[in-house]
Amino acid sequence: MRRVDISYDDGILNKEDEYLVGVNDGSTFTNVKYKGTKLFNGKKMLMFETKSNKQLTINPSFHTFTLEQKTNKDKE
């Protein structure tokens, strides 16, 4: 018999569609555009982009997130 690996989240999110993303601490991010996934230390991360073109990375297994922040140094 052939083994088939099916992830619980395959096909749930559509690239370039906008979503409201909530995490377990009650934080929400509205109108973020799903950009796809990337691997970080061997873990699959969900990539989003905000209206102001900031990158939002969600780790679905730990319900943690990072939000790209511009600094004064970036403006130079």
pLDDT tens digits, 12-41:
788 999 988 888 788 888 899 999 999 988
Is residue 9 pLDDT above 80, yes or no?
no
pLDDT tens digits, 51-63:
999 999 988 876 6
The HSE-up count of residue 70 (CA atoms within 13 Å, CB side) is 8
Q: What is the pLDDT of residue 40?
A: 85
Place of tokens 């909530």: 22
User: Angle CA(63)–CA(57)–CA(52) in degrees, nearest 5?
Assistant: 130
For range 61-68, the mean pLDDT: 68
